[in-house]
Amino acid sequence: MKKVLLSWSSGKDSAWTLHVLRQRADVEVVALLTTFNADADRVAMHAVRRGLVRAQAEQAALPLWEVDLPWPCSNDDYESRMRAVCERALASDIAAVAFGDLFLADVRAYRETQLAGTGLEPLFPLWNTPTAELAREMIAAGVKARISCVDPSQIDRSFAGREFDAALLAELPATADPCGEKGEFHTFVYDAPVFTRGIDVRSGVIVERDGFVFADVFSAPAI
């Protein structure tokens, strides 16, 4: 059985990729990989707190490989840290790295180029799945997520902080991809078929920064 490291953004596509891979008999996901903005202590673009990503990994029953990136982060800085990840993966007998990309050919080509010659195979389990169908399938299967980041040049800023659900899909403009694959929005998954149980979260402040609208999510206090 092929051991797989899964690139984990904290969003719905990552969670669904794990779900799909766990249906296969030829692969075993053995760890999640997440890059963090070291200054903000959050996932880049998704702006999700590190503690919440750790909670996701706990509920998925998988170790989390955390990679801290400086901010700003040059391409050289990023690639040097990814080379170290590849070396660690090979030392752990991992044979492939999986990604939740859907249809952006340039993103896929970049990932394939970065892994070329490393001995690690790139996997794209969701590639070219029709995104409207995929979004509905995720929701029907119990994926629950909040919109953590919005690009207001593509969709209205009011989508920030909302649930990723059927109502949201119905209100997205026709120009927007239902899964946000073109960067329209990013999500934080707080429940999914791959979790032992859901993560109790609350919505926090909504801020606009660097041309994007971010909706904070935080853990609910223990009672």
Instruction: Please list the rounded mean pLDDT of every run of 10 residues in the chain (223 residues).
Output: 97 98 97 94 90 97 95 85 94 98 97 95 98 98 97 98 98 98 97 97 94 91 49
Considering the domain architecture, whether residues 135 and 118 belong to the same structural domain is answered as no
Contact 142, 163 (CB under 8 A): no
Considering the domain architecture, whether residues 97 and 20 belong to the same structural domain is answered as yes
Structure confidence by residue, pLDDT tens digits, 179-189 = 999 999 999 99
Asked, as a colleague might, if the bond just before 152 is cis with ω within 30 of 0, I would say: no
Q: How confident is the model at residue 77, as a pLDDT? A: 85
Contact 37, 45 (CB under 8 A): no
Considering the domain architecture, whether residues 100 and 191 belong to the same structural domain is answered as no
Domain boundary among 72, 90, 123: 123
CB atoms within 10 A of CB 166: 12
Q: How confident is the model at residue 219, as a pLDDT? A: 87
Domain count, the chain: 2
Cα–Cα nearest to 56, from 65, 64, 68, 45: 64
Q: How confident is the model at residue 220, as a pLDDT? A: 66
Q: How confident is the model at residue 222, as a pLDDT? A: 47
Q: Residue 26's domain is classified under what CATH number?
A: 3.40.50.620
CB atoms within 10 A of CB 172: 19
Q: How confident is the model at residue 223, as a pLDDT? A: 40
Six token digits for residue 178:
């239902």
Contact 143, 187 (CB under 8 A): no
Structure confidence by residue, pLDDT tens digits, 120-149 = 999 999 999 999 999 999 999 999 999 999
User: What residue type is assigned to position 92 of the chain?
Assistant: S
For the entire predicted model, the pTM comes to 0.95
Residue 202 sits in which domain range?
131-219
Q: How confident is the model at residue 46, as a pLDDT? A: 83
